[in-house]
Structure 1
Amino acid sequence: MDARPQAMPTKRADPQTQHFDVLVIGAGISGIATAHYLQADCPRQRYAILEGREAIGGTWDLFRYPGLRSDSDLYTFGYSFRPWRSDKAIADGGAILRYIRETAAAEGIDRHIRFGHRVVRAAWDSQAALWTVEAEVGPDRTPVRYTCGFLSVCSGYYSYEGGYSPEFPGLARFGGRVVHPQAWPEDLAYDGRQVVVIGSGATAVTLVPEMAKQAAHVTMLQRSPTYIVALPSRDKIANWLRARLPGRLAHGLARWKNVLLSMFFYNFARQKPEAMTRRILDGVRAQLGPDYDVAKHFTPAYKPWDQRLCLVPDGDLFKAIRSGRASVETDRIETFTETGVQLTSGKHLEADVVVTATGLRLTMLGGMKLTVDGTPVDPSETFLYKGMMLSGVPNLAVSIGYTNASWTLKCELTARYLCRLLNHMEARGYAWCAPEADPARLTEAPTLPLTSGYVRRAAGILPKQGSAKPWRLYQNYALDMAALRFARLDDGTMRFGHAAAARRAA
């Protein structure tokens, strides 16, 4: 694919097509952050947000399963520019959703959102130096069209079409109810019933203790264990700071404290995995006692951070197990029966409700199709520049958060870099910018450095990272801050170009 933009006169958009300087795709946590920085740092840029759903919040509006919460602290998961004021650092989904919506309302961002706009394709025209974005609106999928100079994709990488469920033998004959957390039914009753939650990731360890409050018993059925760490839901240091300092200062100090701690423990885990494993398992034994089979149920075969660690606030999962209202089975499913699940070990789990917390599906760019001058763009054939732009694709930014820290940390850096780019281009009359990779000089590597099932299943759709900066992803907030906040924009890899009309005006 030759994605080199040509320096041609900029033509006006079709009068039937609405034009904006910047279009943001998605009104979730990263889309609202991007809008904030556009308003603060690029006030002359006209922008709109296209949101496929009918509400603000993205993932936090989509998921409705019991116990939904963050798996990282809100001092880093929340915005740097809007202090988190609750005394609970690990917050439930409802509180996070209110926080996002209040932020959008307080800054007037909600007035820029076009709801029910599902973007299906975007085409870059080098002659016009414009993106043409096509969306479908409402249940009738009425087509609408926009143009923009820059496109910012903040749709995350989870598919909203449905979660991942493997084919289970005998499932059709099961007489109970089967649900996936991504499509949680409002009418699901499980009071006093036997529940089996299939899975061992963040969703499963959230569901089990919450459902155990009402169910007769909840069994977490896993093929293999996950590293699970108990942390207090309240951050004593952060609350001490909040009680004594102005809100923004206290929030900033708590945020940096947690950033540095998470970086320390991640690096410790990667450099000394055996020591980290001992530390984690000692914590589990302290929660469940010396007689519990921690080796079988809580000792993974992989090293810490080969997959994401699971966080349980205040040890709620372990409390549910100690109370007898929940248990863990590490086994494989032989078949479903009319009344439950038959395991390969010969054990049968009685179940009225089965929850398949078996993972999510990943998608890229919210599922929309890209073309550059009529040539389709396959994201998996591109390299990711500074973790936020696709090689050879002009005027496009993608918000992808961290896998080892709060998602929002990286998305804010991406938004601020986008604003730096826009101001740089405006000051110099540039019409386009595009990072250019030389694949012959780069060693390819997966974008997401995890061995989790959802990452392996998506290996064929995600862009690649390279062996050296600016194509290498460090998963390190401090290094990314240096690269995105302070490094030169014109770094020899990012190419800039003038439109011919702009040159003549100059």
Structure 2
Amino acid sequence: MLATAPDFDVLIVGAGISGIGMAAHMEMLCPGRNYAIVERREKLGGTWDLFRYPGIRSDSDMHTLGFVFEPWKHEKSIADAPAILDYLDRIVDERGIRQHIHFQHKVVSADWRSDEARWHVIMEKADGSQTAMTANFLYLGSGYYDYDEAYDPAFEFADFDGQVVHPQFWPEDLDYSGKQVVVIGSGATAVTIVPSMADKAAKVTMLQRTPTWMFSRPAKDGLANFLRKILPEKLAYRITRWKNIKMQDFGFKMARNKPQKVKDGLHKRIRKSMGEDFDLAPFTPPYNPWDQRLCLVPDDDLFAAIKRGKADVVTGRIKRFVKGGIELDTGQVIAADIIVTATGLKLGLAGKIAVSNDGAPVDFSQRFYYKGCMFSNLPNLAAVFGYLNASWTLRADINSEFVCRVLNRMDEQGIDTVTPVLPADHGLEEDDLFDFSSGYIQRGKHIMPKSATTYPWRLNQEYVFDRKVLHDSPVEDGLLAFSKSSDNVRLPEEQLEAAE
């Protein structure tokens, strides 16, 4: 082993929900380990600081998007970005995490060197200079989408004489008062922006190629607010969190098993708000609920804007962009001073970091997930890719706890390397990693790691099962190989034989 220790035991990439969650778990479960968080931006918060469009909010309840260890205290469970950032700021300050964050450090590359049992990480600072750090373990909390580029559907705006804005790069000085606004898209971003802009704009039109299933619910959780009045805060939070987890799971399984019943229920909610004669065609997709993620409409805000005549929904295909608006293939022209292209995200795996193993580039698409947390035959690295059918933080919490269990086991054994070992002749049957028809998912599947039909070599979409397995099952499951750096000079095939 080398005489000098790495700069850090654990290097966490990203100071958003995933990275902060990992740091908090280390403070609680691995107090003897040192760590650093590197964040490419000048502020923490990740998504919740990057996106600045009107009305930005969670599309999951904060009793499940919040951490398992930190109660959500706000009255509204569907929270806006400032409230979420306040929550994260309080956590990093109260738990002594802020001092570990290195802002404006963008990770460019990370190379695992087996003879040293450490990652050599190259970062770019705000002034363009580069710096390096080493760490025994690398934890990627860098999210799931490309921060630099949004999805580009290759629209031609040459003839349009207004302003074009993408939600990911919202201008601070955009004045839309009294303007005709068209929001292209029907996902969570569009459903948030339309009612938020409707108060100031002359009118906001949501232009969709395909409808999306909408789910109306109150922004406040009545049970949560009641329980906080009569029970200790942490107990009230635990009960509400578990209730919402079970409701999410029940709703998803109901949609898969009895889709027509769920369709009828979703339409009933809309009719309750809009009246029995309301045309449901713009809210009736050609697919079943949860084939794509449901869009949350808190407090019926979208429907309220439609009833006031300040917003509408148009379904159609764009023929071309013209002076003063958008022409559809039907010949209809929708007037627009401002066009918002809420057309989706572009997936970006592992923060677009050039990851290598002893100098050889790592192609994640050729590796299998291990317990939705690590990757086959890649040492000392874990990542977070949250649930599609539930809140992101649920996976972030259980992955962080599991990695801390692994780190503690490494300490107990006095070893420095842990690898999920998958032999070349594994015979695993591949599964559709994401059984969702959402555009951003389908566009990015080619870069994603493999997922088997059998656990643990898969990214599950069932939190209750994952939580039990990651929390209760032994860390040493016969698949994780523990070794010291002196052993790592052996050839990879020799390591596999030793693990078997």
Q: Percent of pairs identical after alignment?
A: 48
- Please say if residues 162 and 183 of structure 1, whose CA atoms lie closer than 8 Å, have aligned partners that are also in contact: no
The alpha-carbon deviation at position 493 of structure 1 amounts to 1.6
Residue 469 of structure 1 deviates from its aligned partner by 0.6
Q: What is the DSSP-based 3-state SS (H/G/I as helix, E as strand, rest coil) of the residue aligned with 2:297?
A: strand
Residue 382, structure 1, aligned to residue 367, structure 2 = yes
The CA deviation string for residues 319-359 of structure 1, in whole angstroms up to 9 with x for no partner, is: 11111110000000000001100011111001101000000
Is this contact kept in 1: 2:115–2:486, CA < 8 A?
no
Deviation at 1:440, TM superposition (A): 4.2
Tell me the secondary structure at the aligned position of residue 207 of structure 1. Answer: helix
Matched position secondary structure for 1:441: coil
Report if aligned partners of 1:331, 1:344 keep a CA contact under 8 Å in 2.
Answer: yes
Q: Could you tell me which residue of structure 2 aligns to residue 121 of structure 1?
A: 109
**Which letter does structure 1 place at the counterpart of 2:158?**
A
What amino acid does structure 2 have at the position aligned with 1:267? K
Kept in 1: contact 2:450–2:458 (CA 8 A): no
Q: 1:20 aligns with which of 8, 33, 39?
A: 8
The residue aligned with 1:224 is 210
Correspondence for 1:172: 158
CA contact 1:10–1:500 (8 Å) conserved in 2 = no
1:135 match: secondary structure = strand
* Equivalent residues, number: 487
Q: Distance in 2 between matches of 1:211 and 1:477?
A: 35
Give the letter aligned to residue 473 of structure 2. Answer: A
Which whole-Å deviations, capped at 9, do the CAs of 1:357-387 have from their partners, x for residues lacking one?
0001110110101111121101111111111
Does residue 325 in structure 1 map to residue 310 in structure 2?
yes
Distance 2:225 2:51 in 1: 29
Q: 1:291 Cα shift? A: 2.6
Instruction: Please say if residues 288 and 322 of structure 1, whose CA atoms lie closer than 8 Å, have aligned partners that are also in contact.
Output: yes
Per-residue CA deviations over 1:122-142 (Å, capped at 9, x if unaligned) read 00111111111110111x321
- TM-score after normalising by structure 2: 0.95
Which SS does the other structure have where 2:446 is aligned? coil
Given candidates 154, 174, 188, the residue that maps to 2:141 is 154
Determine which of 393, 413, 422 is the counterpart of 2:407: 422
Distance 1:360 1:447 in 2: 18
Output the TM-score relative to the length of structure 1: 0.94
Aligned amino acid, residue 312 of structure 1: V
Q: Do 2:10 and 2:35's aligned partners in 1 also have CA atoms closer than 8 Å?
A: yes
Distance (Å, rounded) in 1 between the aligned partners of 2:51 and 2:224 = 28
Change (3 A) 1:448 1:10: farther
Mark the runs of 5 or more structure 1 residues left unpaired by the alignment: 1-8
Give the match for residue 459 of structure 2. 473
Equivalent of residue 296 in structure 2, options 290, 302, 311: 311
Q: CA deviation at 1:501?
A: 9.0
- Corresponding position: 1:345 with 2:337: no
The match for 2:131 among 141, 144, 148 is: 144
- Unmatched 5+ stretches in structure 2: 489-500
Cα deviation for residue 80 of structure 1 reads 1.7
The one-letter amino acid paired with 1:306 is D
Cα deviations by residue, 1:101-126 (Å, 9 ceiling, x for unpaired): 11111111010000100001100111
Counterpart position of 2:100: 112
The question of 1:34 aligning with 2:22 is answered: yes
Task: Map 1:213-292; keep pairs closer than 5 Å.
Answer: 213-292=199-278
CA distance in 2, matches of 1:175, 1:290: 40
Amino acid at match of 1:155: S
Residue 386 of structure 1 contacts residue 470 of structure 1 at CA under 8 Å; is this kept in 2?
yes
Asked whether 1:208 is paired with 2:194, we answer: yes
Give CA deviations for 1:295-325 in whole Å, capped at 9, x if unaligned: x211111111111000010111111111111
Q: Which residue type is aligned with residue 154 of structure 1?
A: G
SS of corresponding position for 1:464: coil
Partner of 1:500: 486
Distance 2:177 2:200 in 1: 5
